[in-house]
Amino acid sequence: MAIDIARFHQAFFEESFERADAMEQALLQLDVSADNGEVVNDIFRAAHSIKGGAATFGFAAVAGFTHHLETLLDRIRAGQRAVDAGVVELMLRSADHVRGLLVAARDTREHDAELSATLQRALQAALSGDAAPADVAAPSPMPDVSARASGWSISFIPAPDLFRSGNDPLRILRELAELGTLRSELGFATTTPAFADMDAESCYARWQLQLQTQAGESEVRELFAWVEDECELRIEALTAQAATAPMASAPAVEQAVAALVDVAADAAQAKPADKIVPIAAARPASVAVKNPAAALDSSIRVSTSKIDGLINLVGELVITQASLSQFAQGLDPLGHERLLSAVQQLEHTTRRLQETVMSTRMLPIDSVFSRFPRMVHDLAARLNKQVRLQTVGEGTELDKSVIEKIGDPLTHLVRNSIDHGIESPEDRLRAGKPAQGTVTLRAAHQAGQIMIEIADDGRGLSRQRIIDKARSNGIAVADNASDADVWNLIFAPGFSTAAEVTDVSGRGVGMDVVKRNILSLGGQVELSSVEGAGATVRIRLPLTLAIVDGMSVAVGDDIYILPLSSVVECLQPATVQIRSIGHEATVVAVRSEYLPLIDLHRCFGVGAPARAPQDSILVVVEAEGRKVALQLDELLGQQQVVIKSLESNYRRLRAFSGATILGDGRVALILDIVELVRSAGRAAAA
């Protein structure tokens, strides 16, 4: 039965893109003045794995180009080629092209053949020690010197476990036959077991081949690229005499298939015919036989949809467990001791199960940080600056959905730091700083959230310059405004202090979009700076968007959930703290601040009559740097709730970010604090 290998394509592309990223990161670690042995080995292994997989699945363009890059890496690994800045840049461009070839293969579209040819010639020039730039126009193809031979004599001895890796040697023979005239002799090891003792998954055949072709050795060798670690291969130029001398047996590829069956059926009695060149049964010591047990991976790939489904089921289990716990509270502890103990154990187990399942969505933030070394490298070279990227806490984990959305804001902030934060080497030296600037990416867990910092040791922000720019834009700014208020002007739409517009970024240009994206994730962003010493952007994000630590509150007979990360404090105000503004607006004095008061009875149209503010509970919440006080009836407690999407199950509702199901089966809406704060601001402006 034929095996449809197309179903393995997705896994191949996922793994190949990961290896391309790993190859790029390792290339950026190469030091032209140090021993790079292990780093080069890592790059070589990544390129080799991509080439082998691509050849296995028939992606010839990927395998062919990566073979050239692998050859250069092999020369460097063997000490036959020195590493210099030009070679590193060439290999970085080649790694980019490998990624592009993978994208083209994945999307079944044509790749950039001209760029492939240009880079291949540059790699060939680098092999000979020439410093050929990778961006020169590709000259007319030079004939392969080896192609002048009349053909090739090939000794192909597969490893016994070749079939277990999904490889088919007959496919190689068919592809060889397409290059010219192929003649083959089929042989078997002298220690081939009896037919009854043969392993159906082991390969006992060997081939001696003669290929008459004008193709070069590299083109022939490429056809064996994906099995070169699982065979003994020898390719020699075929002399004119050997090419014309008749072989004792020259079956076609299809005849070779039949020969395999015939010889194997009588392998116990029949020795290889005299006309077959004897081939040693033992593999050379240099070729290691793979240990199937050692090849077992400790991880598996699972689609996100399956994990999301599992999380939903665990959420339903949590709701059921909460319902049981609520029901058990009314039971007699003496008469139902065992039942209450089981319910308590269920609660403990359910909590652990929920945490474990949620952790399957957690990924290290390194998957985001890893994109920046290359970006910093290229951008610094483009701006003629010396920049070192330092990452701290890259193993810090957060939800996959957060990781997918935080990449663009971080990219903008890092580009800003390099473009307008880090000075030129000359300016830094004049300021008494090292010529090389430093951009630091730091991540850490903090109080149930993740904090990400983007810091640079550049010129920092100019307070007066920002104030002057704000006033020129019509924004009123007091002279005694706090630094925090001044720095927040950076996030105003269209605000920029850059002297000129660049195609990279401007400190402030697009910062409003950065802030809006972070706030949409339930996060907060703040900026601090010391002029002449650098700037730091701090981002606080929830660890996951699937669950939330919330405060249950009652408004009339309804229950709502306030995200705990937005809650500042709770209080019961005195009458003197309440002030009325106009006919409807009310504020509450909390220490030195007057906060807008939002009566949730009136806001949500709850039927129960509202109490006076001084007879109610006020919860102060904060979003976008502003605070409001929410008036409600009762605090019910804190709990971790599973977020259910309103938009996908019903429709989008303003002031609500989702819903959850309580232990008694009731639905509780989760308040959107950002929208409530914005609505209070709009009301004040009106």
When mean pLDDT is compared across 234-243, 341-350, 671-680, the lowest value belongs to 234-243
- Write the single-letter amino acid at 150: S
Shared domain check, 441 and 396: yes
Q: Is residue 250 part of a domain?
A: yes
Shared domain check, 380 and 309: no
Cβ-based neighbours of 360, under 8 Å, separated by 6 or more: 302, 307, 310
Shared domain check, 569 and 536: no
Q: pTM for this structure?
A: 0.56
Look at the block and give the residue holding tokens 């009896």. 194
Residue 298: pLDDT above 70?
A: no
Question: Residue 455: its pLDDT value, please?
Answer: 92
Task: Return the ∠ at Cα 660 (arms to 657 and 662), rounded to 5°.
Answer: 150
DSSP labels for 45-62? Answer: HHHHHHHHHHHHTT-HHH
**In the chain, how many domains are there?**
5
Q: Are 118 and 134 in contact (CB under 8 A)?
A: yes
363: part of which helix (H) or strand (E)?
Answer: strand 362-364
Shared domain check, 308 and 260: no
Indicate the residue among 69, 94, 127 that finishes a domain.
127
Beta carbons within 10 angstroms of residue 292's beta carbon: 9
Shared domain check, 596 and 538: no
What tens digit of pLDDT does each residue of 426-472 get? 999 998 999 999 999 999 887 667 889 999 999 888 888 888 888 88
- C-alpha 233/C-alpha 122 separation (Å) is 28
Q: Are 565 and 448 in contact (CB under 8 A)?
A: yes
In 458-599, alpha helices (H): 463-472, 483-488, 511-520
Q: Is residue 134 part of a domain?
A: no
Closest to 342 measured CA to CA, from 318, 323, 320, 325: 325
Closest to 383 measured CA to CA, from 523, 269, 511, 503: 503
Shared domain check, 514 and 656: no
When mean pLDDT is compared across 141-150, 559-568, 619-628, 675-684, the lowest value belongs to 141-150
When mean pLDDT is compared across 46-55, 345-354, 397-406, 471-480, the lowest value belongs to 471-480
Q: Which residues pair with 442 in a beta bridge?
A: 392, 453
Shared domain check, 632 and 513: no
Crossing angle of helices 60-77 and 85-106, in 10° steps, is 160
List the CATH number of the domain containing 620. 2.40.50.180
Question: Residue 292: its pLDDT value, please?
Answer: 37
Q: Is residue 202 part of a domain?
A: yes
Question: Residue 356: its pLDDT value, please?
Answer: 84
HSE at residue 266, side-chain half, CA atoms within 13 A, is 9
Tokens of 317: 């289990």
Over residues 162-170, mean pLDDT: 75
Question: Residue 494: its pLDDT value, please?
Answer: 62
Q: Is residue 510 part of a domain?
A: yes
Task: Return the ∠ at Cα 489 (arms to 484 and 493), rounded to 5°.
Answer: 150
Phi, psi of 90 (to 5 degrees): -65, -45
What tens digit of pLDDT does each residue of 114-156 get? 888 888 888 888 887 655 444 433 333 333 433 344 688 888 8
- C-alpha 439/C-alpha 430 separation (Å) is 20
Crossing angle of helices 9-28 and 37-56, in 10° steps, is 160
Cβ burial 53-76 (10 Å sphere, 16+ → b, else e): bbbbbebebbbbbbbbbbbbbbbb
When mean pLDDT is compared across 53-62, 160-169, 350-359, the lowest value belongs to 160-169
- Write the single-letter amino acid at 162: L
Shared domain check, 429 and 316: no
- C-alpha 86/C-alpha 455 separation (Å) is 30
Question: Residue 481: its pLDDT value, please?
Answer: 77
- C-alpha 29/C-alpha 187 separation (Å) is 47
CA torsion through residues 366, 370, 373, 379, sign? negative
Over residues 264-287, mean pLDDT: 36
When mean pLDDT is compared across 129-138, 176-185, 481-490, 640-649, the lowest value belongs to 129-138
Averaged confidence pLDDT in the chain: 77
Cβ burial 153-178 (10 Å sphere, 16+ → b, else e): bbbbbbbbbbbbeebebeebbebbbe
Question: Residue 178: its pLDDT value, please?
Answer: 79
Cβ-based neighbours of 51, under 8 Å, separated by 6 or more: 62, 63, 66, 67, 70, 225, 226
Q: Is residue 16 part of a domain?
A: yes
Shared domain check, 40 and 151: no
Indicate the residue among 542, 570, 593 that finishes a domain.
542
Shared domain check, 370 and 406: yes
Question: Residue 502: its pLDDT value, please?
Answer: 52
Between residues 594 and 651, which one has the greater pLDDT? Answer: 594
Q: Is residue 676 part of a domain?
A: yes
Tokens of 578: 């309440």
Residue 246: pLDDT above 60?
A: no
- How large a percentage of the chain has pLDDT more than 70? 80
Indicate the residue among 265, 293, 314 that finishes a domain.
265
Shared domain check, 177 and 96: no
Shared domain check, 380 and 506: yes
Q: Is residue 298 part of a domain?
A: no
Cβ-based neighbours of 63, under 8 Å, separated by 6 or more: 51, 52, 54, 55, 222, 225, 226
Closest to 604 measured CA to CA, from 666, 558, 647: 558
What tens digit of pLDDT does each residue of 581-638 get? 876 788 899 888 888 998 888 888 876 666 788 888 999 998 767 889 999 888 988 8
Q: Is residue 282 part of a domain?
A: no
Closest to 418 measured CA to CA, from 391, 452, 392, 457: 457
Strands (E), 447-542: 449-456, 524-530, 534-542
Look at the block and give the residue holding tokens 């209070």. 680
In 278-422, alpha helices (H): 304-328, 337-359, 366-369, 372-383, 400-416
Closest to 214 measured CA to CA, from 142, 143, 141: 143
Between residues 43 and 263, which one has the greater pLDDT? Answer: 43
Look at the block and give the residue holding tokens 């053909």. 151
Region of residue 133 (phi > 0: left; psi between -120 and 50: alpha; otherwise: beta):
beta
pLDDT band at 14; cut points 50, 70, 90: confident
Range of the domain at 90: 5-127
Between residues 193 and 66, which one has the greater pLDDT? Answer: 66
Region of residue 494 (phi > 0: left; psi between -120 and 50: alpha; otherwise: beta):
left
Question: Residue 620: its pLDDT value, please?
Answer: 92
Q: What pairing do the DSSP bridges indicate for beta strands 593-599 and 626-632?
A: parallel
Tokens of 223: 């056809």
Question: Residue 57: its pLDDT value, please?
Answer: 80
Question: Residue 610: its pLDDT value, please?
Answer: 67
Question: Residue 685: its pLDDT value, please?
Answer: 58
List the CATH number of the domain containing 78. 1.20.120.160
